[in-house]
Amino acid sequence: MTLRDLEYICAVADFKHFGKAAEACFVSQPTLSGQIKKLEEQLGVILFERSHKGIRVTDTGKEIITIAREATDAARRIKSVAAAAQDPLAGTISLGLIPTVAPYLIPRFVRNIQSELKNLSVNYREDITDRLIEALISGELDVAVLATPPEDESLTAIELYSEPFWLIFPKGHILDSSETVSMTDVKDEDVLLLTEGHCFRDQALSICRPPQKRRRQSLRATSLETLINLVASGQGVTLVPALAMRGGWTHDLDLSSRELSDKGAARQIYLTYRKQFPRVKAVRALADIIRKGLPESVKTE
DNA sequence: AATCGCAGGAAATCGTATCA
DNA sequence: TGATACGATTTCCTGCGATT
């Protein structure tokens, strides 16, 4: 049994047609047919039921093909790792980002990656912190932009930037008359927050006073955009990290904003990766490119 | 260098469906 | 019912790499 045999059976399972599977594997149909027959004899099981109506994968075949796909995927990853070892700045990197960072940060560096790291291709995934950390540990992801420092001992991180929190409130609100605003100035308004699971919710809660924490348990927003629109419709006030701030909001939706003066009203953003990840050079290059695209409203030191 | 094993291709063959 | 088309299998041969 060879890796090539496994590719053949995966192709037949995909195409349900020996001729098309052979074409996809760049061999003649008799070659593919012969190799599959030999594999079936070696294993002592029938993988495919051939009939005039077409090809059907047997139950045992389905189990074996599932494992074959894992094996061929693993082989591809091995090749990718080997290629990356020869040139750390080439190949593919899987990058995860949390939802309160992804839409605001990606547009700031994606073009620079294309122009400065021409041989590096980046796969993006947006998800909440816990799932990104799981994916990092399992090897599903190579690096992740997170707003919490690495706790798992297998992970390490590069500090990217720190971003202050801004308070968003309706234009004409009493806070509009103040140059500086702190959470103690938020008296009776509901502080609208993201649903549980979003780290920004916990970070925002950490600077809220107890009465503010108790309100609005029924609201379940999963994006900053939703919170902003709720503020615009008079449902309360909300907090937004600096990178997510953009001029259009305040103008188009009749909102005002102030950077919070509270101590601790900011968060550190990290580029987190596995300690054993062999392509640290690529991670550092990625961190440099991300920092280059940042606005002055966030701090890189 | 000789030998062996194996993958792969070409051609022949087989089985079945379709159609006149 | 025979001709034809299509897809899979079998047989035979070649080339290549590993081993001795």
- pLDDT at position A77: 67
Confidence of residue A212 (pLDDT cuts 50, 70, 90): low
A17-44 tens-digit pLDDT: 777 777 777 777 777 777 777 777 667 7
Please give the structure tokens belonging to residue A54. Answer: 């077409």
- pLDDT at position A201: 84
Cα separation of A235 and A5, whole Å? 62
**Higher per-residue confidence, A214 vs A175:** A175
pTM value?
A: 0.65
A20 CA: nearest nucleotide by C1': C7
Element (H, E) at A79: helix A59-86
Task: Calculate the dihedral angle through the C-alpha atoms of A209, A250, A256, A99, rounding to the nearest 10 degrees.
Answer: 10
Chain B bases under 7 Å from protein CB?
A: 7-12, 16-17
Cα separation of A211 and A223, whole Å? 23
How far does the CA of A53 sit from the C1' of B16, in Å?
10
Proximity of residue A2 CB to strand B below 7 A: yes
A105-115 tens-digit pLDDT: 999 999 999 89
A1-20 tens-digit pLDDT: 667 777 788 888 877 777 77
Q: From residues 37-56 of A, list those within 7 angstroms of strand C by Cβ.
A: 37, 50, 55
A150-207 tens-digit pLDDT: 999 999 999 999 999 999 988 888 888 888 888 888 877 788 888 877 888 888 878 8
Domains and CATH numbers, chain A: 3-86 (1.10.10.10), 91-161+266-293 (3.40.190.10), 165-259 (3.40.190.10)
